[in-house]
Structure 1
Amino acid sequence: MTKFTFVATTPMGIESVLKRELLGLGYEDARAFNGYVEFSGDESAIARCNLWLRTADRVLVKVGQFQAKTFDELFEGTKALPWQDLLPENAHFPVEGRSVKSQLSSVPACQRIVKKAIVDKLSAKYGRQTFPETGATYSIEVSIHSDQAMITLDTSGAGLHKRGYRKLSAKAPIKETLAAALVLLSWWKPHRPFADPLCGSGTIAIEAAMIGKNIAPGLQREFASERWPWIPTEVWTDERTRAFAATNKDVDLDIVASDIDSEVLSLAEYHCRKAGVAECVRIVKQDAGQFSSNAEYGCIVTNPPYGERLGDQWEVENLYRAMGRAFRRLDTWSAFIITSHTKFEKMYGKPADKKRKLYNGRIQTNLYQYLGPLPPPKER
Structure 2
Amino acid sequence: MRFVTSCLFGLEKFVGEDVDKLGYKRIDTMDGRVTFEGDISAVARCNVNFRYSERVYIKLGEFEAFSFTELFDNVEKLKFSDFINQDDVIIVTGSSVRSKLFSVRDCQSIIKKAVIKSLEKSYGVTFFPETGVKKRIEFFIFNDRVSIMLDTSGAPLHKRGYRPTAGVAPLRETLASSMVNLSRLREGVATVDPFCGSGTIPIEAALMSINRAPGLNRKFDSMDFDFIPKKIWNNALEEAKDNETEGKVEIFGYDIDSNVLELAKENAKRAGVEHLIRFEVKNAEKFVSPYENCRGTIVTNPPYGERMLEKKEAEQLFRNFGKAVRENVPNWKMYIINSHEEFERCFGKRADKVRKLYNGMIKCYLYQYFKTPK
Which residue of structure 1 lines up, in the alignment, with residue 302 of structure 2? 304
Matched letter for residue 331 of structure 2 = T
Which residue of structure 2 lines up, in the alignment, with residue 361 of structure 1? 360
Query: 2:181 is paired with a residue of what secondary structure?
Result: helix
Q: Distance in 2 between matches of 1:295 and 1:213?
A: 25
Deviation of 1:187 after TM superposition, in Å, equals 2.3
Q: Distance in 1 between matches of 2:293 and 2:26?
A: 40
Which residue of structure 2 lines up, in the alignment, with residue 244 of structure 1? 241
Rate the CA distance shift 1:143–1:29 in 2: closer, same or farther, 3 A.
Answer: closer
Cα deviations by residue, 1:163-216 (Å, 9 ceiling, x for unpaired): 111122211111111111111122223442101000001001000000001111
| Contact 2:47/2:157 (<8 A) preserved | yes
Deviation of 1:11 after TM superposition, in Å, equals 0.9
| Contact 1:101/1:145 (<8 A) preserved | yes
Cα deviations by residue, 1:315-374 (Å, 9 ceiling, x for unpaired): 11111112212222323321000111111111111110000000112111110000045x
Which residue of structure 2 lines up, in the alignment, with residue 378 of structure 1? none
Rate the CA distance shift 1:310–1:326 in 2: closer, same or farther, 3 A.
Answer: closer
Rate the CA distance shift 1:239–1:176 in 2: closer, same or farther, 3 A.
Answer: same
Query: 1:140 is paired with a residue of what secondary structure?
Result: strand
Rate the CA distance shift 1:210–1:309 in 2: closer, same or farther, 3 A.
Answer: closer
| Contact 2:173/2:204 (<8 A) preserved | yes
Deviation of 1:295 after TM superposition, in Å, equals 4.4
Cα deviations by residue, 1:279-307 (Å, 9 ceiling, x for unpaired): 11000100112222234432111000121
Q: Find the partner of 1:22 among 19, 22, 46.
A: 19
Gaps of 5+ in 2: none
Which residue of structure 1 lines up, in the alignment, with residue 46 of structure 2? 49
| Contact 2:319/2:348 (<8 A) preserved | yes
Which residue of structure 2 lines up, in the alignment, with residue 138 of structure 1? 135
Which residue of structure 2 lines up, in the alignment, with residue 109 of structure 1? 106
| Residues 199-238 of structure 1 mapped to structure 2, 5 A cutoff | 199-238=196-235
Q: Find the partner of 2:168 among 159, 167, 171.
A: 171
Q: Distance in 2 between matches of 1:106 and 1:29?
A: 31
Which residue of structure 1 lines up, in the alignment, with residue 249 of structure 2? 253
Rate the CA distance shift 1:99–1:29 in 2: closer, same or farther, 3 A.
Answer: closer
Rate the CA distance shift 1:238–1:331 in 2: closer, same or farther, 3 A.
Answer: same
Which residue of structure 1 lines up, in the alignment, with residue 369 of structure 2? 370
| Contact 1:98/1:107 (<8 A) preserved | yes
Rate the CA distance shift 1:13–1:257 in 2: closer, same or farther, 3 A.
Answer: same
Q: Distance in 2 between matches of 1:311 and 1:140?
A: 40
Matched letter for residue 336 of structure 1 = Y
Deviation of 1:251 after TM superposition, in Å, equals 2.4
- Which one is further off, 149-158 or 19-28? 19-28
Deviation of 1:228 after TM superposition, in Å, equals 0.7
Q: Distance in 1 between matches of 2:116 and 2:332?
A: 59
Rate the CA distance shift 1:49–1:286 in 2: closer, same or farther, 3 A.
Answer: same
Identity of aligned residues (%): 44
Query: 1:139 is paired with a residue of what secondary structure?
Result: strand
Cα deviations by residue, 1:129-180 (Å, 9 ceiling, x for unpaired): 1211222111001221221111111000011111111122211111111111
Gaps of 5+ in 1: 374-380
Q: Find the partner of 1:314 among 312, 315, 329.
A: 312
Q: Distance in 2 between matches of 1:25 and 1:191?
A: 28
Matched letter for residue 300 of structure 1 = I
Which residue of structure 2 lines up, in the alignment, with residue 119 of structure 1? 116
| Residues 3-82 of structure 1 mapped to structure 2, 5 A cutoff | 4-29=1-26, 31-82=28-79
TM-score (norm 2): 0.95
Matched letter for residue 298 of structure 1 = G
Which residue of structure 1 lines up, in the alignment, with residue 270 of structure 2? 274
Q: Distance in 2 between matches of 1:23 and 1:298?
A: 29
